[in-house]
A = this chain, B = another copy of it.
Amino acid sequence: MRAVLFDVFGTVVDWRAGICAAVREFAVRHGLDLDAGAFADAWRARYVPSMRTVRAGERAFVSLDVLHRENLDEVLTASGLDPAAFAPDELADLNRAWHFLPAWPDSVAGIAAIKRGYIVGPLSNGNTSLLLDMAKLAGLPWDLILGSDLTRAYKPDPAAYRAPAQFLGIDPAEIMLAAAHNADLAGARSAGLATAFIARPDEGGPGKAADLAPASDWDLAATSVTDLARQLDS
């Protein structure tokens, strides 16, 4: 094993806390009566479907920033709000909340510990500038950031899992994906990567039902990134 790459949304950062805070601020500024948790969940729920046409080759690659922005319009409309009623800058600012999500408490220390023995970086559907803004704010000590706009592939497309090996000059089997989502790990395993499950029971807010436990015999299963660091070190 030479590199440990991380899923980001949910695994390294708490997307729901970050998006809820941004939605609450937006609602206050515009005098809106919005359920921030429901809004965040609806926005996130459009994430996977919105990548489908790109993954199927029906649409040229567009960055996750673009997909998040389109999905925001849909969620506003579904909430009974007209996107055209807001200044474009205001919506761009809200959309940028995905760049500035808070890390789980163990992420920075865990990544720093793993970095001493392995190459560390994100393996995320986020674009490079998103992952860079997030790393700068949260202090995530990545060795390098290869966003989905560099590889132009979205997980679980096998190309998304295999592209980093090429740039790192190593074999896919020398890369471990650490992720809180079983489907992501299944994609990584199919592409020849090693796999580590990280439990994030608080990811989805109070109603989380999926991905509470490893659904397969992943190479490792950890309760946090610091726990993963300990297991890799031993």
Chain A contacts to B: CB under 8 angstroms: 65, 119, 127-129, 132, 135-136, 142-147, 149-150, 167-170
Q: Which residues of B contact A168 (CB under 8 A)?
A: 128-129, 132
Chain B residue numbers with a CB within 8 Å of A128 are: 144, 146, 167-169
Residues of B within 8 A of A135 (CB): 143-144
The answer to whether A167 and B119 touch across the interface, beta carbons within 8 angstroms, is no
Given contacts A149-B167, A167-B150, contact A119 B136 (CB under 8 A): yes
Q: Which residues of B contact A167 (CB under 8 A)?
A: 127-129, 147, 149-150
**Protomer copies:** 2
- Alpha-carbon distance between A149 and B169 when the two chains are bound, in angstroms: 11
A149 surroundings in chain B (CB, below 8 A): 167
A136 to B, closest residue via Cβ:
B143
Please report the C-alpha to C-alpha distance between residue A169 and residue B135 in the assembled complex, in whole angstroms.
15
Complexed CA–CA distance, A146 and B128 (Å): 10
Residue of A119, A135, A167, A168 with most partner-chain B CB within 10 A: A167
Q: Residues of B contacting A147 with CB < 8 Å?
A: 167
What are the residues of chain B within 8 A of A150 when measuring CB–CB?
Answer: 146, 150, 167
- Docked CA distance A170–B65 (Å): 14
- Can you identify 24 A-B contacts, CB atoms within 8 angstroms? A65-B169, A119-B132, A127-B167, A127-B169, A128-B146, A128-B168, A128-B169, A129-B167, A129-B169, A129-B170, A132-B144, A132-B168, A135-B143, A135-B144, A136-B143, A142-B143, A142-B144, A143-B145, A144-B144, A144-B145, A145-B145, A146-B150, A150-B150, A150-B167
- Most B CB within 10 A of own CB, among A127, A129, A144, A146: A144
List B contacts of A145 (CB < 8 A).
Answer: 143-145
**Which residue of chain B has the shortest Cβ distance to A149 in the bound complex?**
B167
Which B residues lie within 8 Å of A169 (CB)?
Answer: 65, 127-129
